[in-house]
Structure 1
Amino acid sequence: MNKLFLILVFLSSSIYGDDHMPETPSFPGLLSTEMFDLGNNMTMHIERRESCNQGGTPKHFHPAAGTLVYVLDGTSQSKSSGEWQNYSKNQYWFEKSDWVHGGEDDTPELPAGTCQELLVVRVAEKGKDHTVFIE
Structure 2
Amino acid sequence: MYASEPPTAGGSLTFSSEILVVRPAPGMTVSLSVTGAVETLTKALAVELAPARLRVNTVRFRRIDTPLLRSLPSLDSDDAIAAAGSTALLGRFGTAQEAAASALFLMANNYVTGQFITVDGGETLS
TM-score (ref. length: structure 1):
0.21
Pair member with larger Rg: 1
Q: More strand per residue: 1 or 2?
A: 1
TM-score (ref. length: structure 2):
0.22
Q: More helix per residue: 1 or 2?
A: 2
